[in-house]
Amino acid sequence: MRAGGLLMLASGLLVGVAIALTGCDSGAVKPDAARKPRLAAPLIEITKVPFPCPTGRKSRTTIDIEACAAKARNRVDAEINVVVRRVFAALTAIDRRTKRFGQAARFGSARVRFIDAERDWQAWAKADCSSFGDLYSGGTLSGTVSADCDLRRSRQHLREVRTLGCLFEYGHADPRGQARCLRRIPRTAIDPYASGR
């Protein structure tokens, strides 16, 4: 009996040591968990278009129209991501300046506000275009209307982030450079009521 008890005790200890060595902890906070997550630029996910977009004037079916609109939207979204990375880099410099001068508590993080704004825009654009598609719910036109709306919203947002990029790139130090940069952007980015797509 005594040998069996020792065997059970030894196997219990062995299991305990194995659990301790594999990293099973009792809720202790690890040093990595205490670190703040690293902020990253809020990029738009580029989705793979399942169907090819026909070249020329061959796009006559609903699937062709949707595929061409999705392909065009992906190109615009890729351009948005390039500008968003630039703006995010500028905001990183602004956050460092405010931290260095002890104003971080007063103003908060510009990057966090930008991330929140971009995520909110993405959610709004998705919901808005779904609503446009709902006008034709159950029909084949639903997908094309929604895809066209996605493309229009992406083009509009590209103009908006380009404007923001110009303002950050040139700032107050170079008003002429800022004006040149803004002239390269279509007028609808600055005045939402101006005509154009």
Give the pTM.
0.70
Q: Angle 141-170/110-134 helices, nearest 10 degrees?
A: 160
134 pLDDT band (50/70/90 cuts)? Answer: very high
Distance between CA 119 and CA 40 in Å, rounded?
A: 12
Are the beta carbons of 147 and 69 closer than 8 angstroms? yes
Range from 47-56, 110-119, 140-149 carrying the lowest mean pLDDT: 47-56
Are the beta carbons of 138 and 183 closer than 8 angstroms? no
- pLDDT (tens digit per residue) in 150-169: 999 999 999 899 988 888 87
| Domains within the chain, CATH numbers bracketed | 41-189 (1.20.1270.180)
- pLDDT (tens digit per residue) in 18-61: 444 444 444 454 555 455 667 888 999 998 888 888 877 666 78
The pairs formed by 186-192 with CB atoms below 8 angstroms and a separation of 24 or more are 186/159, 188/156, 188/159, 189/156, 189/159, 189/160, 189/162, 189/163, 190/163
